[in-house]
Amino acid sequence: MAEFVDIPSPGWPLEYGEPGRPTIVLVHDSYGRLPYLEAYARSLANQGFFVTVPDLFHGVATVEPEGATELAARIDDGFALATLDDAVSLGRGHGAPRVGLIGLGVGGRLALRLAQSGDADAVVAYYAVLGDEEAGIIPCPVLMHRPEGTAWAGEIDVDEFVSRLKEHGTPVTQYTYSATSDGFANATMLELLDKNAAALAFARSTYFLQAQLLD
């Protein structure tokens, strides 16, 4: 049976940086809001952003693949998207002129879906795509971090997804990281982590969001 751990501030977004600055909503993967996200958020805040990290799993996280599978299966997309929308509104309510999204895994899928609403000015997706049934126009620039191969995307054709975005006029930047799999940026899960790829992806994400969100 999968084991779960309680996280601080369950159900509430963590906040880093100066309110009113351009905002980034950082969306966790299927393992939940694990400690590495605090370091990620603080590093973004040091680059001039206000960062919020919502909790989509009602106060729990896991360090087991079985637990991650169970938590991902529990997600209610309507609740999750509303939670992310609240995080965007939090930033804009503080006076943020622009808002970006960073999502990892299932969080990346949800970030891409929220971006379809036009509420975001840029979106970064780690090992995440949308299938045909979730197809829609994303009216802001997209940065994709792709692990090697396509197994991480399941039955979804990643190149077809990218082509569809481009056909609709979405600016897409994508990078593939050799010898990695999904979860390579999850620094709490050491068996998944690729330190070099994670560091490079963070640097590229920061540069991309600075270009899109900062004056």
pLDDT of residue 2: 84
Three-state DSSP state, 100:
strand
Distance CA 86, CA 178 (A): 36
Q: Which residues pair with 96 in a beta bridge?
A: none
What is the distance in angstroms between the CA of the first residue and the CA of the last residue of the chain? Answer: 49
Cβ–Cβ < 8 Å for 83, 59: no
Alpha helices of 2-97 — where are they, by DSSP H?
36-45, 65-74, 77-93
CA 181, chain centre distance (Å) = 16
Q: Would you place residue 31 in the very low, low, confident or very high pLDDT band (cuts 50, 70, 90)?
A: very high
pLDDT of residue 59: 96
- What tokens were used for 5? 């751990």
pLDDT of residue 101: 98
What confidence tens digit (pLDDT) does each residue in 157-178 have?
A: 999 999 999 999 999 999 999 9
Q: Which residues pair with 126 in a beta bridge?
A: 104, 145
Does the pLDDT of residue 1 top 80, yes or no? no
Average pLDDT taken over every residue of the chain: 96
Distance CA 112, CA 123 (A): 7
Q: Would you place residue 135 in the very low, low, confident or very high pLDDT band (cuts 50, 70, 90)?
A: confident
